[in-house]
Amino acid sequence: MAVNQGNNPVRVKKQNEVLIKEIIYKYGPISRSQIAEMLSLTPPTITTNVNALLRQGLVYETEEEEDDSEKTKAGHKTLGRRPVKIDFVENACYVIGAEINKYQIAVCLMNLRGKVAGRKSRTYMRESDDYQTVMETLACQIDQVVQESGISRELILGVGVGITGFVDPVRGVLKKSAYQNWEDNQNTAQDLERLLSLPVIIENNARMRAVGEEMFGNHLHADTFAYLLISYGIACPMFIKDSVHTGETSGAGEIGHVVVDIHGPKCEVCGDSGCLEEMASERAIVKQAREAMRSGVPTLLNDLAASPEDLTMKEILAAEEQGDAAAFEIVGKAIVYLGVELANIINFISPPLVIIDGYLMKAEQNRELILKETKKHLFGVGEGEIEFQFVDFDPYTGARGAGALAIRKYFIEQ
C-alpha cells in the first residue's frame, strides 16, 4: 500500500496514523516491521504511532507463537526474543449500529471487532409513522440497549445508522426517504445527535451492509465487490478499494427502479412500469402471492397464512420448499429478473466478487437458480472469473454494517 506523502506535515502525520490503524485493524496481530513494509513507512514512524496507541490503551503487544521451524533439530528453542505483534484491545471502546428498514428497527452495541455486547429489534413499520416518531423510537431503543448492557456510555465512540433511501453521509442528510410521508432533506445525523448526545453518521442501509462485509466478513476476498441486497426493495452498491461508492447524488446502488420489463406493472413507489423492484422485490413477491390467494388458485399459501393480508415471505418460502406450484412460479419468475439484472451489472462493472444478501436466498434452490440465470446472461466472462458469495440471513446484518461504518469513522479515521 503506497502512501501519498504530499507536502503538508500535519496532513501527512494524520494520514499515516489512519493508515497504520487500518493495517492493524485488518491484519492484526501484526508486527511493526510488517506494518512498515506494507505502508512503505520508516520504522521510527511506525514506532511513534504504535507507542501512542499503547499509551492510550487501544492496542496491546503479544509475542508470536513459535512454530516447528523456529526450533533446532535437537528440540531446543532458538535464542533471542520472538517477534512482537500488535493488535487492538477489542473492548477498549464501543460503537452502536442501527438499521431502519421497512420491517424493523434493529440496534447493536458492538466492540471494536464487531462482537455484539447488546442488541434489540423492534418490529415495525407503519407507513403512517412520521419522521420524528421514528427518530425518537430509535433513540429510545439505543438507550435501552446501552443501559441493559452495563457498558459505560463514556466508552461509546459514536453511532452509525443505516436508512433506506437517498442518503448523503457527508452532510448527514436523508435526501429522500422510502417513506412517503417523510419530508425530503432531513438532517437526520444532527437530529439523532441531539436525542442521543453522541456523534452520529448515517448512510444508505445497503451501502452500510457492504461496509460491514468488508470489515467483518472474509478478509481473504477481493477488496472490490458488488453487494446485491434483496429485501423489501432492491439495491446493489459497489465497494471499491476501501470505500463504498456513494455517487454524486447519493443514489449509487439504487438498482431497484431500473426498468427490466417495459410492459410490466406500474411501480407503486417510482410510478414507472416494470422496474426491478415491482417485478422481483420481497414486496412484489408478497403482492403477487396475495393476488394468487385471492384469485382462488390452489395453493398451500391458504393453509400457511390465515388470510392474504397475513402472508409474509416466511410462508411463501415454506410453500415453495414444499413444492407448491404457485409459490414456486412466483419466486422463480422473480429470481429470473434478478439474475438478468445482476448479469447486466457484472457485464457493465466487471467486479471480481458479487455478494448476495436476502431472506429469499435462505433456500438453496433459490441460490442455485439466481446463479444459473446470472451466468446465462454473462458476456465475455470465463468460468471462475467472477466469485459469488451468499450472506447467511441475519436480521442484524444491517445494524452490524452500520456499526462497522461507525468504527471506521470514529475510531480508525479519528
Domains of the chain in start order, with CATH, are 9-88 (1.10.10.10), 94-214+397-412 (3.30.420.40), 255-351+359-391 (3.30.420.40)
E strand or H helix at 162: strand 156-163
Q: Cβ neighbours of residue 248 under 8 Å, at least 6 residues apart?
A: none
Give the distance, in angstroms, between the CA of residue 313 and the centroid of all CA atoms in the same chain: 21
Q: How far apart are CA 165 and CA 249, in angstroms?
A: 12
Q: 230 φ, ψ to 5°?
A: -110, 110
Q: How many CB atoms lie within 10 A of CB 220?
A: 5
Residue 158 · residue 407 · CB < 8 Å: no
Cell of 190: 444532527
The confidence score (pLDDT) of residue 115 equals 96
* Low-confidence stretches of the chain (pLDDT beneath 70): 1-7, 64-81, 124-127, 218-220
What are φ and ψ of residue 201, in 5° steps? -120, 140
The reported pLDDT for the residue numbered 285 is: 98
The counts of H helices and E strands in the chain are 13, 16
Q: Find out whether 274 and 259 touch, Cβ atoms under 8 Å.
A: yes
Q: What is the pLDDT of residues 376-397, one digit of tens each?
A: 999 988 878 999 999 999 999 9
Specify the residue for cell string 431497484: 256
Which of left, alpha, beta for 253 (phi over 0: left; psi -120 to 50: alpha)?
left
The pLDDT assigned to 188 comes to 97
Cell of 91: 473492548
DSSP 251-319: -TT--TTSBS-TTSPBPTTT--BSBHHHHHSHHHHHHHHHHHHHTT---THHHHSSSGGG--HHHHHHH
Q: Which DSSP symbol is given to 70?
A: G
List all residues 6 or more positions away from 113 whose beta carbon is below 8 Å from its beta carbon: 88, 90
Pull the grid cell for residue 387.
466469485
What does the alpha-carbon distance between residue 224 and residue 212 come to, in Å, rounded to a whole number?
A: 14
- Would you tell me the crossing angle of helices 188-196 and 131-149 to the nearest 10 degrees? 40
pLDDT for 381 equals 87
Helix axes 364-376, 313-321, angle to 10 degrees: 90
Within 10 angstroms of residue 380's Cβ, the number of other Cβ atoms is 7
- The secondary structure of 91-150 as a DSSP string is TS-EEEEEEE-SSEEEEEEEETT--EEEEEEEE---TT--HHHHHHHHHHHHHHHHHHHT
pTM greater than 0.85 (yes/no): yes
Ramachandran assignment for 150, one of left (phi > 0), alpha (psi -120 to 50 degrees), beta (any other)? left
Return the amino acid letter for 99: E
Q: What is the Cα–Cα distance from 286 to 310, expressed in whole angstroms? A: 10
Provide CB contacts within 8 A for 29, sequence distance 6+: 62, 64, 85, 86, 87
Q: What is the pLDDT of residue 71?
A: 47
* Percent helix / strand / coil, the chain, rounded to 5: 45, 20, 35
Query: What is the structure's pLDDT at 74?
Result: 44
Query: How far is Cα 355 from Cα 187, in angstroms, rounded to an integer?
Result: 31
